[in-house]
Amino acid sequence: MKTTAILATVLIGSAAALNAQAIPRGVSIAAQAPTRAAAAPVLIKNATVMTVTKGTMANTDVLLRDGKIAQIGKNLSAPAGATTIDATGKYLMPGIIDPHSHSMADGGINEGSRSVTSMVRVRDILNNTAPIIYRELAGGTTTINVLHGSANTIGGQNAIVKLKWGRPIDEMLFPGAMPGIKFALGENVTQKNNTPQPGTPRRYPESRMGQEEVIRDAFTRALDYKADWDDYNAKVAKGDKTAIAPRRDLELEPFVEILEGKRLVHAHSYRADEMLMLLELSDEFHFHVQTLQHGLEGYKIASDIAKRGTGLSTFADEWGYKIEAYDAIPYNVAILMRHGVVATVNSDDDGRARRLNIEAAKMVRFGGLTEDEALKTITYNGAIQLGIEKKVGSIETGKDADVVIWTGNPLSVYSRVETTFIDGEIFFDRQKDIAMRDALAKERTDLEKEDAAMNPAPAGRGGRGGATPGGSRK
């Protein structure tokens, strides 16, 4: 039934969009999500509140109401029906934002068969039952940017997700987030690190020369396509009933959106020269590169990145795993931030997405970021990069109540998450988690007994398989 409803809206959306220049393919499913009753108010008492944007305040209360941060201050009183949490000795910070994730992506994240696959969407392969959602919540992560992989120069469209464990995808997609797309440069695209199977045809491009040309060609074609639609729309506006609409092109539509500032470019890149190539192209074609992803050599051209208002999202300190990563340094973020670039630390890895606080803490050591600056690299700056900074990324009244309570300073290795809220609702609570473990173990034992009765003596069952897929795609 849901499928039918969505299909209907897609068709209506498409029909309605025919007069528009950039044709949205499907409407925001999140906008159609059923409205859920807002969670009961929660008053968090006496925490050390790390607002990230407005300093850290000791012994402070935070009121979450109607899914928002309603009040921040001393000695707040609990409204009727509110739950009160005593956070004495604990720390409160905004939910962590991971600007580069592949979590929840069911199956492959690379439609790398062609050089330009701008038409494919990560949203279509999101798995809302992936255990990693819960595990990331347990590390304080609340919003992730699920990106296409880096196999081809122009990859697919990303999805920005709030980790509302247990909810349908419709409720997890970040409402109103600006759509984006993945570009990729460098070794993953040229496939120089792979040994192809004998007989496998080589895929263009296999050099950084070809990468430039693929992007130039795509934008050139998109400009033609846009001109065709502009001509058509102008005729229609003049009342020309004989005008024939151009054929829709799902590959080029996202480029038109990029040119019109309606879609954000997130470009996987490593070497300084290839980043500069893309930035020069963006000047020429008048589009904006929202973020350089990884951007390990960004520090070599920090001012060139800064002057375009481009952000950069990187590993805290990974390096040396391939040639283009050999000049990576953990001071990248510090140099970029000192030059005015909005920089973030990301995971690109299911495992690491559970401890981005430690990755941020490294930034204090490498380059001397302040604690606020370090926290920004996993919260507020990520919100800016994804265009959602008005809603999340800091502890400010009116923002979404995406809040994490830690046992101590989140930049300490000895701290752990107690409670994680999204939109004012608890999606992870360590005490509840621990309390549930015995029941879960019993359920498992019962199921195994049942299984044994139905399928006696499975031979040679060793270990526990079923490892969670994931791992870094870099």
Q: Which residues bind other proteins (CB under 8 A)?
A: 131-132, 134-135, 138, 187, 192-193, 299-300, 302-303, 317-324, 326-327, 329-331, 334-335, 338, 350-351, 354-355, 358, 361-362, 364-367, 407, 411-416, 433, 437, 440, 444, 460-468, 470
Report which secondary-structure segment, H or E, holds 446.
helix 430-454
- Minimum Å distance from CB 434 to other proteins? 8
Q: From the CB of 355, what's the least distance to other proteins, in Å?
A: 7
- In the sheet that holds 141-146, the strands lie side by side as 96-101, 141-146, 159-162
For residues 196, 200, 205, 208, the Cα torsion angle rounded to the nearest 10 degrees is 10
What span, in angstroms and rounded, lies between the C-alpha atoms of 359 and 13? 42
CB of 319 to other proteins, least distance (A): 5
Shortest Å distance, C-beta 437 to other proteins = 6
Which of 288/322 has CB closer to other proteins?
322
Minimum Å distance from CB 189 to other proteins?
Answer: 13
| Cα 298 from Cα 336, distance rounded (Å) | 7
The Cα 221–Cα 214 span in angstroms is 11
Q: Which is nearer to other proteins, 177 or 336 (CB)?
A: 336
User: How many angstroms separate the CA atoms of 417 and 5, rounded?
Assistant: 39
Closer to other proteins by Cβ: residue 238 or 437: 437
Give the residue with the Cβ less far from other proteins, 253 or 318: 318
To the nearest whole angstrom, how small is the minimum distance from the Cβ of residue 7 to other proteins?
A: 31
Number of other residues whose CB lies within 10 A of the CB of residue 374? 28
The minimum distance between CB 47 and other proteins, in angstroms, equals 18
Between 238 and 461, whose beta carbon lies closer to other proteins?
461
* Identity of the residue, 15 or 414, whose beta carbon is nearer to other proteins in the bound complex: 414
To other proteins, the closest distance from the beta carbon of 268 in angstroms equals 16
Between 76 and 426, whose beta carbon lies closer to other proteins? 426
Nearer to other proteins, 233 or 409 (CB): 409
Alpha-carbon gap, residue 67 to 85, rounded angstroms:
16
Closest to other proteins by CB, 63 vs 374, is 374
DSSP structural state of residue 126: B
Asked if residue 286 lies in contact with residue 280, where contact means CB atoms within 8 angstroms, the answer is: no
Ordered DSSP codes for 34-95: PPPPPPPPEEEEEEEEE-SSS-EEEEEEEEEETTEEEEEESSPPPPTT-EEEE-TT-EEEEP
360: left (phi over 0), alpha (psi -120 to 50) or beta: alpha
Can you name the residues that pair with 409 across neighbouring β-strands? none
Q: What order of strands is seen across the sheet that includes strand 264-269?
A: 154-157, 180-184, 264-269, 289-294, 311-314, 343-345
Shortest Å distance, C-beta 124 to other proteins: 23
Q: Which residues are paired to 312 by β-bridges?
A: 292, 343
